[in-house]
Amino acid sequence: MSDTDRQSALAALVAALPELDWIKEAPKVKRLSRDFHWFSPVLKPQLEEKFAELAVRPRDEQELKSIVAACARQRVPLNLRGGGTGNYGQLIPLNGGLMVDMTRLNSVTAMGQGSVRAQAGIRLGDLETHTRPFGWELRCMPSTWKLATLGGLFGGGFGGVGSVNYGPLAAPGNVLSVRMMTMEETPRILTLQAPDALLLHHAYGSNGIVTEIELALAPVTPGLSVLIPLLILLRQWHLPMRWHDRQVW
Ligand SMILES: Cc1cc2nc3c(=O)[nH]c(=O)nc-3n(C[C@H](O)[C@H](O)[C@H](O)COP(=O)(O)OP(=O)(O)OC[C@H]3O[C@@H](n4cnc5c(N)ncnc54)[C@H](O)[C@@H]3O)c2cc1C
């Protein structure tokens, strides 16, 4: 598709779905087209000039479905973005097109005994804020947990804190099921149970859009979140100095 044809197709998308939250300003679209690929001296020059031409932020699954259907009809490239923390350029649009920011699809849809199901755009920190009061935490938490989304971790990530006990995200028992949308003129919604659900893991959105993920959880361990505030408190009380006075060290 030529650049001109793609521009007309994108304009047709906006005209057909005016109620959506479109992002058209070039600096904003460029920012949404970035991840951390610039860590790599190999990728940086290759991806420097690659951007989407338009972005959109669907507010629910129905909006996402209408975007996907319209892109499939118009043959416009569709790229998915979670938190944009991937460091291998997985979300960089190689042929322009539309960037779909998934971060508004961020609800927790079910909380069980030792499991949770949530929409793919939820940030991992927000997801754990939801599970902790029930006594459960995520089994693996990447260091980017504040920004990274559930769908992005599944689509492009590997593991994190907790993986020593539970293995990487793809280890059996961690991901229980995935709800996905196919990229077709009439998008289908499918639910895949593990192990089939893992067919979408590390696929970077290329074989379907992940809309919800069901994860197994770990019991909360009162670890660092308790220890660090305690150490700060002790420091404030100058306990080490008092111990020093008493020649403890
Ligand atoms: C400093 C730093 C530290 C990191 N530490 C870790 C770590 O400890 N462990 C780890 O595993 N990774 C780590 N990463 C890599 C990255 O943070 C993880 O891969 C992260 O989980 C990606 O989530 P995201 O929401 O930012 O994904 P994005 O970067 O937004 O997307 C990642 C990929 O998933 C695709 N995608 C996004 N949403 C969906 C969806 N709903 N359906 C289908 N595909 C989708 C995107 O198109 C892209 O291909 C680190 C990266 C950086 C820069």
Interval 91-136: pLDDT, tens: 999 999 999 999 999 999 999 999 999 999 999 999 999 999 999 9
Instruction: Report domain extents, the chain.
Output: 3-101, 125-219
- What's the Cα-to-Cα distance from 72 to each of 12, 69, 147, 184, 195, rounded to whole Å? 13, 5, 29, 5, 28
DSSP one-letter code for 180: E
Q: Is the CB of 149 under 6 A from ligand 1?
A: yes
Contact 157, 169 (CB under 8 A): yes
pLDDT exceeds cutoff 50 at 172? yes
pLDDT exceeds cutoff 60 at 249? no
Measure the N-to-C terminal CA separation of the chain; round to a whole number of Å: 73
Contact 93, 55 (CB under 8 A): no
The residue nearest atom 21 of ligand 1, judged by CA position, is: 153
User: Model confidence at 42, in pLDDT bands (50, 70, 90)?
Assistant: very high
Q: Is the CB of 162 under 6 A from ligand 1?
A: no
- Span from the CA of 170 to the centroid of ligand 1 (angstroms): 14
The residue nearest atom 5 of ligand 1, judged by CA position, is: 143
Rounded distance between C-alpha atoms, residue 160 and residue 13, angstroms: 39
pTM as predicted: 0.90
Ligand 1 atom index nearest CA of 180: 42
Interval 53-68: pLDDT, tens: 999 999 999 999 999 9
Q: Is the CB of 169 under 6 A from ligand 1?
A: no
- What is the DSSP pairing of strand 98-101 with strand 54-56? parallel
3-101: CATH class = alpha beta
Q: Is the CB of 90 under 6 A from ligand 1?
A: yes
125-219: CATH class = alpha beta
